[in-house]
């Protein structure tokens, strides 16, 4: 009786011996020693387990082993962050990276990443400059106000505004606006962390000017309005008109601040989309500071933009937390390039990728769906039935939650009686494609909304369909 350890020693090569072979040296040359050794160890262990189970029929095949190692090293060396097809029907999908940026923005980012840039360097005077100036002039030109600051995201912007203007004091917010955004952003929690005491005003559905007036005390630092971006309060409702709230704040010598969430620099109605409040409107309504996101409707990089009164902006810049929340040159390069596109609104629809996707018509998407359908049906074979359908896309990221954009797509249902986990299995199979395809399931059907299938990537999408495997 040979004990399993001895058997393994005899049947399997050592890691060192494998490392000295030409094939493995080539792997090390390509992928490096660390990953190669990890894989050899793991696959040898798998061989040892196999041997322990059945040593009579075990034979080690070195060529096959090295080939398996090459596959596995290649797999482990794949980037973790990979492109996917977002056919969920949600355009600004937070989990899929929100806004897609135009090529001109990507080019600007590439330059900033690979070459020295005048990030905080005044090319005129040669002295130290301020990084936000690269975008401040465009934000104020497009939104109004006389100063702007940029930080990492809008959550950071809200935090910084509250911490700067309201620390150890009170800020009034309507009960109807105490929002939670996905990913644990809640206004009451941010307020607490910013050192601000939240004073809830009015009722969930109705808040009146006198509610605010009665809540003001010597400890009140500001009145804040939060755009209820991801839900709508309907029915017997009432909110105080913004100019009245602004007036009340100003009568008491305090700022009126607005968190817009999405915020868009142009009127979306001009592009056939539902209206979304703009920073310009908020400032015109009397806001002293407005905060909004860079990667929602604006269509740029993750960022939080603050625009408004110069003295308040200056106070925000002096807050030491600004240093902790500041953006890098990559974000600034992207914003700079993006904001310049907004100076030419006639071309915006073609230039800003998210706007192009949001404004695609159902007819246009339907034509694409008809084109894709036969390829998809061929890949599915007899087991499933694909059909072009009308559907509704969501803007996403909490923008305009009640409105859906008329869209088209493909619904896949089982050909026979099979129900149950059919759609789940199909959804898994599409996610396993080389460029994973993400759809959604409704009423037992797997649905692909084609709004975000960019024409430039359609060939890639079709090309990989024959690799679809599901049982
Ligand atoms: C999305 C949103 C935020 C958070 O913005 P991020 O850029 O995701 O950090 C804050 N407030 C409102 C109203 C929002 O809609």
Residues 10 and 60 in one domain: yes
pLDDT at 266: 95
Domain extent, residue 420, equals 85-93+357-467
Residues 227 and 363 in one domain: no
The dihedrals phi and psi of 448, each to the nearest 5 degrees, come to: -115, 110
pLDDT at 319: 97
Can you list the residues of the chain whose pLDDT is less than 70?
1-5, 7-9, 182-183, 229-233, 398-403, 418-419
Measured in angstroms, how far is the CA atom of residue 64 from the centroid of ligand 1? 52
Residues 319 and 429 in one domain: no
Residues 192 and 285 in one domain: yes
Cα distances (angstroms) measured from residue 173 to each of 209, 313, 316, 460: 12, 21, 20, 49
Residues 317 and 459 in one domain: no
Residues 249 and 331 in one domain: yes
Q: What are the E-state strand segments in 40-193?
A: 85-86, 90-92, 147-151, 170-174, 180-181, 185-186
CATH of the domain at 184: 3.40.640.10
Query: In this predicted model, what pLDDT tens digit does every residue of 338-371 receive, in sequence order?
Result: 999 999 999 999 999 999 999 999 999 999 999 9
Question: Does 298 sit in the ligand 1 pocket, CB within 6 Å?
Answer: no
d(CA 257, CA 162): 9
Domain termination residue (choose one: 351, 386, 404): 351
Q: How many CB atoms lie within 10 A of CB 184?
A: 9
Q: Are strands 85-86 and 437-438 parallel, antiparallel or unpaired?
A: parallel
Q: Could you please report the per-residue DSSP string of 73-103?
A: HHHHTS-SS---EE-SSEEE-GGGTSPPPPH
Question: Does 98 sit in the ligand 1 pocket, CB within 6 Å?
Answer: no
In the three-class reduction of DSSP (H, G, I as helix; E, B as strand; rest coil), residue 216 is classed as coil
**Are the C-beta atoms of residues 182 and 232 closer than 8 Å to each other?**
no
Q: Both tokens of residue 139? A: 């934000």
Query: For residues 21, 22, 26 and 27, what is the CA-based torsion angle, rounded to 10 degrees?
Result: -30
Residues 178 and 306 in one domain: yes
Question: Does 427 sit in the ligand 1 pocket, CB within 6 Å?
Answer: no
Query: In this predicted model, what pLDDT tens digit does every residue of 146-156 receive, in sequence order?
Result: 999 999 999 99
Tally the residues of the chain: 471
pLDDT at 128: 83
d(CA 89, CA 448): 7
Question: Does 278 sit in the ligand 1 pocket, CB within 6 Å?
Answer: no
Measured in angstroms, how far is the CA atom of residue 226 from the centroid of ligand 1? 10
Q: How many domains does the chain have?
A: 3
pLDDT at 433: 97
pLDDT at 337: 98
Q: What are the E-state strand segments in 136-219?
A: 147-151, 170-174, 180-181, 185-186, 197-201
What's the pTM value of the predicted model, to 2 decimals?
0.91
Question: Does 227 sit in the ligand 1 pocket, CB within 6 Å?
Answer: yes
Q: Could you please report the per-residue DSSP string of 245-264?
A: HHHHHHHTT--EEEEEET--
The residues facing 307 across adjacent strands are 148, 290
């Amino acid at each position: 009786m040979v004990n399993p350890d001895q058997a393994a020693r005899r049947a399997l090569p050592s890691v060192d011996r494998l490392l000295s072979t030409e094939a493995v040296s080539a792997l090390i040359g390509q992928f490096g020693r660390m990953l190669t050794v990890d894989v050899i160890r793991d696959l040898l262990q798998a061989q040892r387990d196999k041997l322990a189970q059945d040593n009579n029929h075990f034979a080690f095949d070195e060529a096959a082993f090295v080939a398996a190692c090459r596959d596995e090293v290649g797999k482990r060396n794949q980037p973790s962050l990979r492109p996917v097809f977002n056919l969920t029907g949600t355009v600004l999908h937070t989990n899929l990276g929100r806004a897609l940026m135009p090529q001109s923005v990507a080019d600007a980012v590439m330059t900033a990443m690979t070459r020295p840039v005048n990030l905080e360097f005044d090319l005129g005077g040669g002295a130290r400059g301020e990084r936000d100036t690269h975008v401040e002039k465009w934000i104020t030109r497009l939104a109004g106000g006389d100063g702007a600051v940029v930080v990492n995201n809008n959550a950071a912007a809200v935090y910084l505004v509250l911490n700067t203007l309201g620390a150890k004091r009170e800020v009034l917010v309507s009960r109807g606006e105490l929002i939670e955004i996905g990913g644990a952003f809640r206004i009451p929690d941010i307020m607490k962390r910013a050192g601000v005491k939240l004073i809830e005003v009015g009722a969930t559905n109705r808040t009146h000017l006198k509610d605010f007036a009665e809540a003001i005390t010597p400890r009140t630092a500001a009145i804040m309005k939060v755009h209820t971006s991801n839900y709508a309060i309907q029915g017997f409702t009432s909110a105080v008109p913004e100019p009245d709230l602004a007036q009340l704040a100003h009568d008491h010598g305090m700022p009126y601040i607005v968190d817009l969430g999405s915020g868009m620099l142009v009127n979306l109605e001009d592009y056939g989309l539902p209206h979304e409040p703009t920073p310009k409107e908020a400032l015109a309504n009397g806001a002293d500071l407005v905060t909004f996101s860079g990667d929602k409707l604006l269509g740029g990089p993750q960022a939080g933009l603050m625009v408004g009164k110069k003295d308040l902006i200056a106070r925000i810049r002096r807050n030491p937390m600004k240093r902790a929340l500041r953006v890098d040159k990559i974000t600034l390069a992207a914003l700079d390039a993006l904001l310049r596109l907004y100076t030419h609104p006639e071309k915006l629809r073609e230039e800003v990728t998210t706007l192009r996707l949001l404004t695609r018509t159902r007819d246009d998407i339907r034509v694409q769906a008809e084109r894709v359908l036969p390829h998809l049906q061929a890949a599915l074979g007899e087991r499933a039935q694909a059909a072009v359908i009308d559907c509704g896309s969501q803007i996403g990221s909490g923008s305009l939650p009640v409105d859906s954009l008329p869209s088209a797509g493909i619904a896949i249902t089982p050909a026979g009686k099979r129900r149950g986990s059919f759609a789940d299995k199909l959804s898994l199979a599409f996610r396993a494609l080389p460029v994973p395809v993400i759809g959604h399931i409704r009423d037992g059907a797997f649905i692909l909304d084609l709004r975000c299938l960019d024409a430039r990537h359609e060939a890639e999408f079709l090309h990989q369909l024959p690799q679809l495997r599901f049982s």
